[in-house]
Amino acid sequence: MSTENTTAVTAPEEQPAPRRSLLGNLVRGALIGLVETVPGVSGGTVALVTGIYDDLIASGHHLTSAAKNLVLGPDRVAGMRQSLARVSWRLVIPLVIGMALAVLTIAGPMAHLVETYPATMRAIFFGLVAGSVLVPMRLSGGAWRAKELGLFALGVLGGLVFTSLPVTSLDPSPWIIAPAAAIAVCALVLPGISGSFILLSLGLYQPTLQAVDQRDLGYIAWFGLWAVIGLIVIVRAMRYMLVHHHRGTMVVLAGIMIGALKSLWPWQDEGGGLHAPGGDWLLMLGLAVAGVLAVQLLVVLENRIGNHSAS
């Protein structure tokens, strides 16, 4: 086994999560909740940019392990407590609170903005995601060889295929909501994969945001149950990939984010068909550049805060 792979395998188990501020984690959660309401933008992207991605996946893994130990044993209570003790509660609790507050307060207004100013909002989000691609590229270690370039190309292709899904309209029945929620929650884990875009493709975007905005507890509870089930599966898969194939995983995620930019091209019709830039191209370019700069500013601030906490 190479030195690089050995580091990737042992680091998540041996190094404790950095001690970040509770307020900072609350803000990170609010940012993730905000982008989760936007078609084309992934909460996983925010987790990457703000430096909590690996820690979040690790905590999710320990939470699912706790549930597994409680159900399957053999030492049910002791095994559960051991797994729960390894969860970074200082990260998870404020993050969940921030996400919930953001979704409950912003879902309605965000849906209105996306529907009323689609091209303008897509231009902003295009810049935000494009600027975020540099994060997994940096975390991959750089110096890509033929293998990494091939993985990157596969990621780009996957992102393009995903964002080319035809838009359908399904009745929001419980058995349609269940698989949609389980799949859409992947956005919390996979940068470049937008849960809102999945819901939009299935015709469940507006019904879901309306349910949140109107506090439809039945819809929300059923959606949340299946989201948790989907999250358990994808978190365990991503934990394995990050531990055993960290470099390759980051390369693929960067490719997915690039491919997924297709859904955020400002000039497109309701069916997702792309058009050439219109007369407002200068404004849209400015908004996209502002999005890129905003992400880079966030990365710089996050690095400075992280360095200050470590010192």
Give the per-residue pLDDT at 120. 92
Q: What are the structure tokens assigned to 239, written together?
A: 């934990």
Q: What are the structure tokens assigned to 70, written together?
A: 């409680």
User: Tens-digit pLDDT profile for the chain (311 aa)?
Assistant: 333 443 333 334 445 656 678 888 898 898 888 877 776 667 888 888 888 888 888 888 888 888 888 877 777 888 888 889 999 999 999 999 999 898 888 777 877 887 788 899 889 888 888 888 888 888 888 789 999 999 999 999 988 887 777 766 666 778 888 888 887 777 667 776 667 777 776 777 778 878 887 888 888 889 888 888 887 888 888 888 888 898 998 899 889 888 888 888 999 887 778 889 988 999 999 999 998 898 888 777 776 765 655 55
Give the per-residue pLDDT at 6. 36
Q: Which of 41, 49, 43 is nearest to 303 (CA)?
A: 49
Q: What are the structure tokens assigned to 147, written together?
A: 């293998």
Residues 6+ apart with CB under 8 A from 203: 167, 168, 169, 170
* pTM of structure: 0.70
CA distance 66 to 80: 4
* DSSP character string of the chain: --HHHHHHHHHHHHSPPP---HHHHHHHHHHHHHHHTSTT--HHHHHHHTT-HHHHHHHHHHHHHHHHHHHH-SSHHHHHHHHHHTS-HHHHHHHHHHHHHHHHHHHHHHHHHHHHSHHHHHHHHHHHHHHHTHHHHHHTTS---HHHHHHHHHHHHHHHHHTTPPP------HHHHHHHHHHHGGGGTSTT--HHHHHHHTT-HHHHHHHHHTT-HHHHHHHHHHHHHHHHHHHHHHHHHHHH-HHHHHHHHHHHHHHHGGGG-SSB-TT--B----TTHHHHHHHHHHHHHHHHHHHHHHHHHHHHHH-
Query: How do residues 201-215 score in pLDDT, each as one tens digit?
Result: 677 777 887 888 788
Write down the domain spans for the chain. 21-310
Give the per-residue pLDDT at 170. 63
Q: What are the structure tokens assigned to 27, written together?
A: 């803000």
Give the per-residue pLDDT at 251. 93
Give the per-residue pLDDT at 147. 93
CA distance 244 to 10: 9
Residue with tokens 């994969």: 193
Give the per-residue pLDDT at 13. 47
Give the per-residue pLDDT at 229. 84
Give the per-residue pLDDT at 201. 67
Give the per-residue pLDDT at 60. 86
Give the per-residue pLDDT at 306. 59
Query: How do residues 49-72 score in pLDDT, each as one tens digit?
Result: 888 888 888 888 888 888 888 877
Q: What are the structure tokens assigned to 253, written together?
A: 């995620």
CA distance 133 to 40: 14
The strand pairing partners of 274, in sequence order, are 268
Give the per-residue pLDDT at 17. 59
Q: What are the structure tokens assigned to 202, written together?
A: 């299935």
Percent helix, strand and coil across the chain, each to the nearest 5? 75, 0, 25
Q: Which of 23, 45, 55 is nearest to 188 (CA)?
A: 45
Give the per-residue pLDDT at 20. 74
CA distances from 198 to 10, 19, 86, 190 (A): 35, 34, 32, 13
The answer to whether residues 127 and 238 touch, using CB atoms and an 8 Å cutoff, is: no
The strand pairing partners of 94, in sequence order, are none
